[in-house]
Structure 1
Amino acid sequence: MRNPRLIREIIEIVALVLLFLVAVHFTLQSYHVRDAGMQPSLSPNSYVMVNKVAYIFRPPERGDVIVFHFPFNTNQDYIERVIGLPGDTVQIDSTRIWVNGVELKEPYVQTPVNPVAKTWKIPTNKYLVMNDNRLFDNDSRSWDYVPKDFIVGKAVVIYWPSTSWQFINTYTAAYNSIKSGH
């Protein structure tokens, strides 16, 4: 004799587990940090959790660490820090960065270096991003902007290796004095 209540409960549990897995799939993603481009904030071979819905109701902010599709090969994902927002003017010389005329004081950068002096006026729906390890210049300094549609999400927590578990610092205080470029 079959127990219809037990069968119904098993179906409900399976349905809830599947619903949970689908929800996680569309809201969170793991990202493997492969190189030293974001050191000291993120170490090579660490893993971060990416919030894929972080920018549904608000845009990225300066200091956010984002994962995005590389503009010249969308099959590759990169992780870098947002420095400039749409409408901002960002200027660099060999060691310093100014956003809308305010010099950035970046506590997360150990070796401030830029390959060339340059100025950007960031277009609508584009973001300027840089590595924390400025010796790695495969970022906006060499290829300009990340389109908003290419952003996968906001990196929020380092979860592996487990000894490095921590929330990712966006260094809000470093960007507080910058006024909007609009």
Structure 2
Amino acid sequence: MAKDKVEVLPAGVAKGSFRDNLEVACFGILLIMFFKTFVGQQFTIPSGSMRSTLLIGDHLLINKFIFARPQWAWEEKLFPMRGVDRGDIIVFRYPLERDQDYVKRCVALPGDTVEIRDKRLYINGKQATGPWEHHSPRPEDGPLPGPWPATRSTGVVTEDLPESLPVSAVWPYQDPEIQAMDQQGREPLGYGYRDHLAPVKVPEGHIFAMGDNRENSLDGRYWGFLPVDHLRGRPFFIWWSYREGGVDDQNARIPSGPADVVANFVDGARHFFSWTRWDRTGTIPK
């Protein structure tokens, strides 16, 4: 009986299981880094500023290349790139603290004139409202969807609040010198411009962003115009919606270390079936 032949591989070809697994792991890490850098990223809604369009605990997938600036014509044809539009939900670097990502809605583009009168938004002299605009005429009812024509009460306006600034006060971000400043680390303005903002033109290279939950959103009314180069992407899919603490209005816990990450994972595993919003999971935000 002939003995089984043993095939001898050239030197350097044979690999052990450790090396095989290490190569697969490294390749997987490179794919994940490429995806997060150029394609998409996961983002969790931590607060109620976009309620009820986006709820606390909504886990989103972000399209990161849709607002990218193509260098060659073939890029624009091959990939679905475009400029930001009015009405787009956007994820961006917060101008006052750029290591934080915020999510709001783009309401005005460069060259548009923005005005707010009695909580109502006007773009180029015309009111901009729709089902995405939420107000809380009675706080106990929570934010209610629009549209909000002049005949519909939005509740108390900031001129009736003691901590508000005079309605006639000049919004500082109208000053071109302030627009050009590095705003990182500055404090946002107070309530005075929340419900009243004199007509102001959006400068080139900037947009104006607001949260849909108008009475509870730290947005452009407080910190000014958003530079276009701060845009990170556009949410296109809610892959999971989870009630933080089992309720809809409890702010998400932001992990500050490995222990918080583990705690969030354990909490999600324990209450996955009971606290998941099944009616929102798998939907497209608009």
Q: TM-score category by the smaller chain? A: 0.7 to 0.9
Q: Deviations over 1:12-60 (max 9, x none)?
A: x938645542432221111111111000100012111111101123211
Aligned partners of 1:71 and 1:148: how far apart in 2?
11
In structure 1, runs of 5+ residues without a counterpart are 170-182
Instruction: State the secondary structure of the residue aligned to 1:87.
Output: coil
Query: Hey, what does 1:177 align to over in structure 2?
Result: none
- Structure 2 counterparts to residues 13-92 of structure 1, below 5 A: 14=24, 17=28, 20-26=31-37, 27-56=39-68, 57-92=81-116
What code does the residue aligned with 1:156 have? F
> Are residues 116 and 101 of structure 1, via their aligned partners in 2, closer, same or farther at CA, if it must alter by over 3 Å?
closer
Query: Hey, what does 2:230 align to over in structure 1?
Result: 150
Instruction: State the secondary structure of the residue aligned to 1:24.
Output: helix
What code does the residue aligned with 2:52 have? P
What code does the residue aligned with 1:133 have? N
Instruction: State the secondary structure of the residue aligned to 2:106.
Output: strand
Larger radius of gyration: 2
What code does the residue aligned with 1:158 have? I
Contact 2:50 2:217 in 1 (8 A): no
Aligned partners of 2:15 and 2:100: how far apart in 1?
46
Aligned partners of 1:46 and 1:61: how far apart in 2?
23
CA shift for structure 1 position 115:
2.7
What code does the residue aligned with 2:104 have? E
Structure 1 runs of 4+ aligned residues shifted over 4 Å read: 1-7, 15-19
Aligned partners of 1:34 and 1:17: how far apart in 2?
29
Query: Hey, what does 2:215 align to over in structure 1?
Result: 135
More helix, by proportion = 2
Q: Deviations over 1:141-167 (max 9, x none)?
A: 111111011111111111112621211
Aligned partners of 1:118 and 1:158: how far apart in 2?
36
Query: Hey, what does 1:172 align to over in structure 2?
Result: none
Contact 2:120 2:195 in 1 (8 A): no
- Structure 2 counterparts to residues 93-172 of structure 1, below 5 A: 93-111=117-135, 114-161=194-241, 163=278, 164-165=280-281, 166-169=283-286
Q: Deviations over 1:80-118 (max 9, x none)?
A: 000001111111111211111221122112316643233
Instruction: State the secondary structure of the residue aligned to 1:108.
Output: coil
Query: Hey, what does 1:175 align to over in structure 2?
Result: none
More strand, by proportion = 1
TM-score (norm 1): 0.80
Contact 1:130 1:141 in 2 (8 A): yes
Identity of aligned residues (%): 27
C-alpha RMSD over aligned residues = 2.5
Contact 1:94 1:117 in 2 (8 A): no
Aligned partners of 2:210 and 2:124: how far apart in 1?
16
CA shift for structure 1 position 71:
0.7
CA shift for structure 1 position 67:
0.8
TM-score (norm 2): 0.52
